[in-house]
Structure 1
Amino acid sequence: MNLLIRELNEDDPAIISDAFQEQGWNKPVELYEGYLSEQKRGERITLVAEADGAFAGYVNVVWKSFYSCFRDSGIPEISDFNVLIKYRRMGIGSALMDQAEAVISERSAVAGIGVGIFSDYGHAQILYVKRGYVPDGRGIHNGQRHIQPGENIVVDDDIVLYFAKHLR
């Protein structure tokens, strides 16, 4: 397999959206158009993986994390990391993560990442730990605040545990 990792370009939003639609995931073209606009403004870098010329996955590096603990510490966040199901277990995710960490290491000694806490995220949880990411020790977060002991919540994609990794 010939693998290419490059930055998101103008042709990608429709291609990426269509590829995820084919596997039954709703990822609208507007999401990727927004990523492209933010990339042009220097707010993020979206890395795209192509396997033998076909879209296979992507990952984002967000320079100012939406997670306040990372943002306040100047820790860039790896975000919205997805590999198409048919391309998983081929090293594409690891190659995307390698490149995201290399991009971050040019500006920061630490990378941050958030991961969902239910079983759909199990493979990602394992991957991040194997790559040296450790929980930031603040507990689970719902996108707005940390969840307190005894609090009742709905466990969905917004409930995240954040991890960090020292790159240098």
Structure 2
Amino acid sequence: MNIHIRTLNEDDPALISRAFQEQGWDKPVEQYLHYLAEQEEGKRVTLIAELDGAFAGYVNILWSSSYPSFKEQGIPEINDFNVLIQYQRQGVGSRLMDRAEELIQERTGTAGIGVGVFTDYGKAQILYARRGYIPDGKGIHKHDRYLMPGEETIIDDDVVLYLTKKLRTV
């Protein structure tokens, strides 16, 4: 089993979209074309994982997060982390995270990541905790604002708890 990590290239958007569509996830080609354009502008890095030559998953590094606390502190955000179901639990996600953290560590001492708060995100929550990510202490966030006590909201993919990990002493 050979896992190879590389950056997104112009041949990837259609391939990635199709791979996720085959497992029932809507990930339009335009999303990955946008990622490619932002990567070329230096705003993000999209890392692609291949397992034995086949596309297996990807993760992004946003050098300037839209999450206010990360933006203020200059913390890059690991974002939109996805491994195809058939390749989960084979080390693909760990290798993607390892490489993302290595790239972040070349620039700064802290990595940030957001995770959803309901059951569908359980595997990710456990993975991030095992890797040393801890809550940033700001509570949960939705649509560019922090949720407050007593406030009602619909729990969906946009309700996020943000976490950080110290990568090195700065």
Please, what TM-score do these two structures have when normalized by structure 1?
0.99
Written as runs of structure 1 = structure 2, the 5 A alignment for 1:27-106 is 27-106=27-106
Report sequence identity in percent: 65
Spell out structure 1 runs of 4+ moving beyond 3 A.
none
CA distance in 2, matches of 1:9, 1:40: 10
CA RMSD of aligned residues (A): 0.4
Q: What runs of 5+ residues in structure 2 fail to find an aligned partner?
A: none
Written as runs of structure 1 = structure 2, the 5 A alignment for 1:102-113 is 102-113=102-113
Question: Within the alignment, does 1:12 sit opposite 2:7 as a pair?
Answer: no
Partner SS for 1:58 = strand
Partner SS for 2:146 = coil
CA contact 1:67–1:143 (8 Å) conserved in 2 = no
CA distance in 1, matches of 2:102, 2:13: 24
Aligned counterpart, 1:25:
25
Please, what TM-score do these two structures have when normalized by structure 2?
0.98
Shift of residue 2 of structure 1?
A: 1.2
CA contact 1:77–1:111 (8 Å) conserved in 2 = yes
Partner SS for 2:47 = strand
Shift of residue 143 of structure 1?
A: 2.7
CA distance in 1, matches of 2:22, 2:156: 23
CA distance in 1, matches of 2:106, 2:44: 14
Q: What runs of 5+ residues in structure 1 fail to find an aligned partner?
A: none
Question: Within the alignment, does 1:3 sit opposite 2:3 as a pair?
Answer: yes
* Equivalent residue pairs, number: 168
